[in-house]
Amino acid sequence: MLTNILPLIPIMLPFFMAVIMLLVGKRPVKHRAIAAIGGLILIIVSAYQVFFVYQNGMYVTYIGGWEPPFGITVVIDMVAAILVLTTSIIVFFITVFSFQSIGEPREKYYFYAMVMVMLTGINGAFLTGDIFNMFVFFEVFLLSSYILITLGGEKLQLPEGFKYVLINLVSSNFFVLGLAYLYSVTGTLNMADMQMKIASYEGDTTGLTIVAIVFLLVFATKAGMFPLYSWLPNSYAAPPVPILALFGALLTKVGIYAIARTFSLFFVDNVEFTSTIILVLAVLTIISGCIGALAYLDMKKVIIYNIIIAVGVILVGFAIMDAAGSIGAMYYLIHDMLIKAALFLLIGVIIFRTGETNSERLGGLIKVHPVLGWTFFIAGLSLAGVPPLSGFYGKLFIVESALDNQMFIAAIVVLLSSLVVLYSIMRVFMNVFWGEDMDFDRLKDVKMDKMMFSAISLVVIAVVFGLSADFLYPLFEMAAQSFYDPASYSSYLLEVQ
Amino acid sequence: MKSTLMRAGYKKVSRQMNDVFLQFASKVIFFLIVMFAFNLFFAGHYTPGGGFVGGLLGASAVVLLLIAFDRKTVHKMMPIDYRFMITLGLVFAGVVPTLSFLFGTPFFQHQFTYVEVPILQELSLHTAVLFDIGVFLTVMGACLLIITLVAEEKA
């Protein structure tokens, strides 16, 4: 009974919240209450889910009662449970942040309902055990992200939103194409079943490598990898900060999750080729992200390019895909989701207070907002991975596994990227909070207690996550096992058959 | 059509076009399409059809009325808020599969039974129909909402 209901709560609860909001109509205050209460329930449920998986191992439910290889399965292993927990924490704080920042017109046009539908899609993509169902959930969160990116219809939003829609539509088409190839090769859509069939097949698997490239093209576009990230910075900079924070913290990470999942389960026969190509692209992603982060003084752009750097670092870990690499990539993935959301919210507070996005036009804000300034400082250190803050452990494991596998260039690039990250974020910090005083009369008189609350809470959570990394190690070890030992993921099929 | 008439030299074009043939034919065809939509809707599950196709056809019937008459007249004929229609559809589609927990079965598991009705003889009652009603309402509501919104923009 419990194992029937529990896996579906993270998918269905946001959906029901959205439906209730639609029933309530255009009443922002009630929407806020529903979003906040539902978000809290979701955090509690997904925390319990992590605990449950830790105690009992991964568990599965068969939707509609169909036997596993044929019907849709919802598979909750440690990776999915941790990612769902992180997602619900981030979405809760971003909705609280939006209470004071997104503005009533957008709230009236169902902003929170769209966020909840997006949460449905993201959680579904993490939890599903069926590759076609993953495509469906990708579409669910992409459709609501199309609405979110153009909601409000500002001058900048429409052209950038159009680009975003076009690029994602094209890559979704390739996703279906890749799925069709994969289905024609293996004859199944269940991810665990597919893994077993591919692992036990002893013929020529050149065809699969081609499918792997199609999938890499799709997910690289969604995750913002090297040649295909160029749409990302401008599109993400267009919508207001809460939406930017949602996109930056969550959407690219779903792409990374999909790369890790598909390349660990399906494309394992020609590892030299696939892992090399991901590694090379990841290193190039880091380098191009670094160039972008150094080139801009606009606060939004600096942090957006830091997303691209982080995507590269995580993918270095997933490209190597041994035990240390996967653990490091999981640590860094969770760290990056938390700290990116926190940083976006912090610069959001600055932007709403000053009305400026260019850090050069600001200065001396530490005198007015000391708490905000030092929180930003800690968040910046954490982003760069200064020990003992949260970014450190992920990078440690990733570099360790890169050195173990004689991938020195990747290790050096990852290490040097930390310096660039530190420099870019500290430059923003010094421009905004130190330096010559700006004209303090220009500051806007906005209510910001809820904005400050959610931004600071996220930084605190990220710091606590960093400090308790040792305590959380068993969870991450368990999560990484799904990647470097794919047979453990598909073991639930053996129990059934 | 209005602008074509303007270009053809008609100076004054009345706001509402009274195309008698179109209006009369659409009144008849409307019911044919709706009947066919319901037919497809109930044909679903075992044979091709179902809520999605039925909803699309149902929407197309209303769109025909929108073309023949104008939006105000259609709204007078069917005073339905399309947003509420979508919401109601989502409620059906979301609640029905969730209720299967009451039977202790997994999400989306359908429940069915056979009943004897005097004239119609054996009928199968199926929870999948309720779910499909949700799909029908959502698809039809979404189509009509989009079309009326796009049409409104020009006025």
- Spatial neighbors of A296 by CB under 8 A, at least 6 apart, are A302, A305
- Three-class SS state of A437: coil
Q: Running DSSP on this structure, what letter comes out for residue A250?
A: I
User: Which SS3 state, helix, strand or coil, does residue A497 take?
Assistant: coil
Domain count, chain A: 1
Helix intervals (H) in A406-468: 408-433, 449-467
Residue B155 has pLDDT above 50, yes or no: no
Separation between Cα atoms, residue A472 and residue A478, nearest integer Å: 10
Q: Is the pLDDT of residue B11 over 80?
A: no
Q: Give the count of domains, chain B.
A: 1
Within 8 A of B107 by CB-CB distance, chain A residues are 4-5, 8, 12, 61, 63-64
Closest CA to A241 of A344, A89, A144: A344
pLDDT tens digits for range A348-361:
999 988 888 888 88
Average of per-residue pLDDT across A403-410: 90
- The residue among B101, B107, B112, B138 with the most chain A CBs within 10 A of its CB, best to mutate, is B107
Q: What is the mean pLDDT of residues B58-74?
A: 87
**What domain range is A176 assigned to?**
2-496
Handedness of CA A348, A349, A354, A360 (dihedral sign): negative
Q: Does B109 touch chain A (CB under 8 A)?
A: yes
A318-327, B86-95, B122-131, range with the lowest pLDDT: B122-131
Q: Which residue has the tokens 């890499």?
A: A216
User: Which residues in chain A have Cβ-Cβ distances shorter than 8 Å to B141?
Assistant: none
Instruction: Give yes or no for residue A473 having a pLDDT over 50.
Output: yes
Between the CA of residue A463 and those of A375, A392, B10, what are the distances in Å? 11, 11, 74
Q: How far is A364 from chain B (nearest CA, A)?
A: 48
Q: Which of A306, A318, A308, A313 is nearest to A344 (CA)?
A: A306
The pLDDT of residue B7 is above 80: no
Positive or negative: CA dihedral B5, B10, B11, B13:
negative
pLDDT at A60: 87
- Of the candidates A91, A102, A90, the residue with the CA atom closest to the CA atom of residue A28: A102
Residue B147 near chain A (CB below 8 Å): no
Host domain of residue B46: 2-154
